[in-house]
Chain A
Amino acid sequence: MTQASDWENPTLASEQYKIGDLLSRLWEAEETIRAIYAGEADAVVVNSPSGPRVYTLEGADHPFRVMVEQMHEGTVTLDPNRLVLYSNPQFAALIGAASESVAGSDFDRFLAPADATLFAGLIEAAVAGGHSSGELHLCDANDATIPVRLSVTLLDVAGMQNLCVIASDLREQRRNEAILKEERLSRLILEQAAEAIVVIDPQGVIVRRSESANLLARKPVLMELFDTAFPLTAAGIRLDTDRILAAMRAGEKITGVEAQMARPEGETFALLLSASPLSSDGNELVGLVITLTDITERKRAEEALATQADQLARSNSDLQQFAYSASHDLREPLRQLAVFTELLQTRYQDKLAAEAGLLIEHAVNSAHRMEGLIKDLLAYTQAADAPQGPTACTDANEIWRKTIATFETKITQSGARVDCDPLPVLAVHEVHLTQLFQNLIGNALKYRSQEPPRIHISAERNTSAERNEGLWKITVADNGIGIDPAYKNQVFGIFQRLHGGGRYSGSGIGLAICQKIVQRYGGRIWVESELGRGSRFMFTLPEKKNEAR
């Protein structure tokens, strides 16, 4: 930089040149000092006869240190064994530890265990390529996980492969994402809910609404007054926001309140209204959420069903009444017919031709038979009538004993053996169970084969797949003449008989009565049989409630 020859021949021009040169060198020096002072230079390169020399400047890393200490992200440097050499206060704060306790610790201590492999991968990538980054979780002193983005940079210092790790806290971001997701979900719910949902402010203005609210009101309702958009009445009285708020203040629950909404064109809707208050954090009422469910169709269906049930009940009752009066009133003239024909026969026997007596006998028999039929029909119409009194509860064992007693003569005469397993207590009226046993045991004795009758009664809890919980199945099995399976349903019909010619007495009402009784209790009756191989009549009846058998 110096030229010695200029000093040997001093001229003005050369002096001036020297001054310029010195000034320029002074400026350069001053600029270097300023840069050093301002921290803009890491090192100074000085040309020397042995070549340029680099001078590092003590204190030049000070601004960086300040920056690292002040930066928002948590930063650590690690040695190749992942030992923390340095931690800034933000990293320590992030994991809830004191800065001094972080330096010197194994960095893996601060990693969520599940993410250990992920972190190892990040380090590998940084060592190979100088830099890597990824999202994983740290865990704090309380083992709570903290989502972070880690940037790993390789620091090759004096041959040591250290690492710089910068951790950006993602919690806020995740929270925001969750809120956004929730918000989107709420909007979806509002848009797609089948119910009309509206949110109103304390002044009754609709501030949010579901799509179906618009449909129900047949116009956009946002920013409309709720009371105008939905003119509701309940039991003829206006159901407006004032009333809803008043009810709410009185502590009433407004859930599923039935309301009507009339449109100008005269159409009326049936709605269910539910309302719940919307409170701020400070517990101040900031609005109401109102849900309106259109139940017009359901209501209509319910009404139709009720009308139908009503009609059915009336028609049933009419029919019952008709059958009763018909059978009752028909009996009187028939009875008289029978008696007077008989009187005719007894009083004028000698005056009538022999054949006349026979004809009168037929007439009397017919009248008696018809009277029997009418009696049976009457019994059938009354079969399932409920006797008055407390809820039915009958011990089947007792009814079985009583029934057997009434058949004592027949049993002795026929040499029948009738036995019975233990039976349950049933939730049926005594008179009904008695009729069932009398008809079924009576039939078993009547339709006997050549063999002496064997009748066995058994009971088991119904186990079929139908919705038959709490039903018992009672079986009356015999060794009688049996029934052709082709008639197994027909035998339960009114006045259905399988045998003519007076071979077996009876009008064929017994099994019809049995069926009617069993059906009254929600049970059913059926028969399994083959001609000549006996019959098994089975019926189901409800068991006594809370029975401990």
Chain B
Amino acid sequence: MKRDSLEQLSLLVVEDSPADVFLVREALKEEGLSCHIKIADDGEKAILMLDDVDAGDQDAPNLLLVDLNVPRQNGEQVLERLRRSPRCGTTPVVMMSTSDTAVERKRAFELGATEYFCKPSTVAEFMQLGRLVRTLLEERYGTAA
């Protein structure tokens, strides 16, 4: 496991499946990323959090991991809301989905996704999510000291 200091960064994970939340945490851990993680288990909660951020009541997340199929408001709606945010409209977003249809992928990028991660069915592949998050964080916030 790698260790470095991207610790002060915070991630918002929008995901309703506890199993996948577990796997996301595992992937981040595997990559040695010990960021602060907030979980929203439906799209509505995520949007409310973004409202709070824009109202100055919460700190803005540094990266979002958004599952496409979350209850109430889906991942696309969360992404749309984020891109309209005055405080964190340009934050990197990884859209996640079990399916990998060209249509869903295209639509996600049209709405402003930074990356699209098709949830794989092997451990090794899933762990690559950690690597992806690290790359995005480093690109955006530099290799923190």
Residues on A lying within 8 angstroms of B by beta carbon are 328, 331-332, 334-336, 338-340, 342-343, 346, 367-368, 371, 378, 382
User: Which A residue's beta carbon lies closest to that of B26?
Assistant: A343
Contact B99 A331 (CB under 8 A): yes
Q: Which of B88-145 contact A (CB under 8 A)?
A: 98-99, 101, 119-123, 126
Contact B123 A343 (CB under 8 A): yes
Query: With the chains together, A346 CA to B124 CA distance in Å?
Result: 11
A-B contact pairs, 19 of them (CB 8 A): A328-B98, A331-B98, A332-B17, A332-B119, A335-B98, A335-B119, A336-B17, A336-B19, A338-B121, A338-B122, A339-B23, A339-B121, A339-B122, A340-B19, A342-B122, A346-B123, A367-B121, A378-B99, A382-B101
Query: With the chains together, A340 CA to B119 CA distance in Å?
Result: 13
A339 CB contact (under 8 Å) in B99, B101, B123: B123
Query: With the chains together, A367 CA to B121 CA distance in Å?
Result: 9
Contact B99 A336 (CB under 8 A): no
Residues in B with CB closer than 8 Å to A371 are 121
A334 CB contact (under 8 Å) in B26, B99, B101, B121: B121
Q: Identify the 7 closest CB pairs spanning chains A and B, nearest first.
A: A335-B121, A338-B121, A336-B19, A332-B98, A342-B123, A331-B98, A328-B99
Residues in A with CB closer than 8 Å to B23 are 336, 339
Residues in B with CB closer than 8 Å to A335 are 98, 119-121
Residues in A with CB closer than 8 Å to B59 are none
Residues in B with CB closer than 8 Å to A339 are 23, 120-123, 126
Let me know if B52 is at the binding interface, CB within 8 A. no
Query: With the chains together, A343 CA to B123 CA distance in Å?
Result: 7
User: Which B residue's beta carbon lies closest to that of A368?
Assistant: B121
Q: Which one of A335, A339, A367 has the greatest number of beta carbons of chain B within 10 Å?
A: A339
CB 8 Å contact bits of B22-42 with A (1 = contact, 0 = none): 010010000000000000000
* Count, chain B residues at interface, CB 8 A: 14
User: Which A residue's beta carbon lies closest to that of B126?
Assistant: A339
User: Which B residue's beta carbon lies closest to that of A338?
Assistant: B121
Residues in A with CB closer than 8 Å to B126 are 339
Residues in B with CB closer than 8 Å to A340 are 19
Residues in B with CB closer than 8 Å to A328 are 98-99
Residues in A with CB closer than 8 Å to B19 are 336, 340
User: Which B residue's beta carbon lies closest to that of A372?
Assistant: B121
User: Which B residue's beta carbon lies closest to that of A385?
Assistant: B103
Known contacts A328-B98, A331-B98; is-contact A336 B122 (Cβ 8 Å): no
Q: Which one of A336, A340, A343 has the greatest number of beta carbons of chain B within 10 Å?
A: A336
User: Which B residue's beta carbon lies closest to that of A341?
Assistant: B123
Residues in A with CB closer than 8 Å to B98 are 328, 331-332, 335
Q: Which one of B20, B98, B122 has the greatest number of beta carbons of chain A within 10 Å?
A: B98
Query: With the chains together, A332 CA to B69 CA distance in Å?
Result: 11
Residues in A with CB closer than 8 Å to B17 are 332, 336
Residues in A with CB closer than 8 Å to B123 are 339, 342-343, 346
Query: With the chains together, A29 CA to B90 CA distance in Å?
Result: 150
A233 to chain B, nearest CB (A): 50
Query: With the chains together, A378 CA to B98 CA distance in Å?
Result: 13
Task: Beyond A331-B99, A332-B17, A339-B122, list 4 extra A-B contacts (CB 8 Å).
Answer: A336-B20, A342-B123, A343-B26, A343-B123
Residues in A with CB closer than 8 Å to B20 are 336
A227 to chain B, nearest CB (A): 60
A302 to chain B, nearest CB (A): 37
Residues in B with CB closer than 8 Å to A368 are 121
User: Which A residue's beta carbon lies closest to that of B124?
Assistant: A342
Query: With the chains together, A342 CA to B119 CA distance in Å?
Result: 15
B47 to chain A, nearest CB (A): 23
Query: With the chains together, A203 CA to B53 CA distance in Å?
Result: 83
A388 to chain B, nearest CB (A): 9
Q: Which one of A328, A367, A378, A382 has the greatest number of beta carbons of chain B within 10 Å?
A: A328
Query: With the chains together, A331 CA to B121 CA distance in Å?
Result: 9
B142 to chain A, nearest CB (A): 32
Residues in B with CB closer than 8 Å to A378 are 99
A382 to chain B, nearest CB (A): 8
Residues in B with CB closer than 8 Å to A342 are 122-123
Query: With the chains together, A338 CA to B19 CA distance in Å?
Result: 12
Query: With the chains together, A346 CA to B30 CA distance in Å?
Result: 14
User: Which B residue's beta carbon lies closest to that of A328?
Assistant: B99
A457 to chain B, nearest CB (A): 26
Q: Which one of B23, B98, B121 has the greatest number of beta carbons of chain A within 10 Å?
A: B121
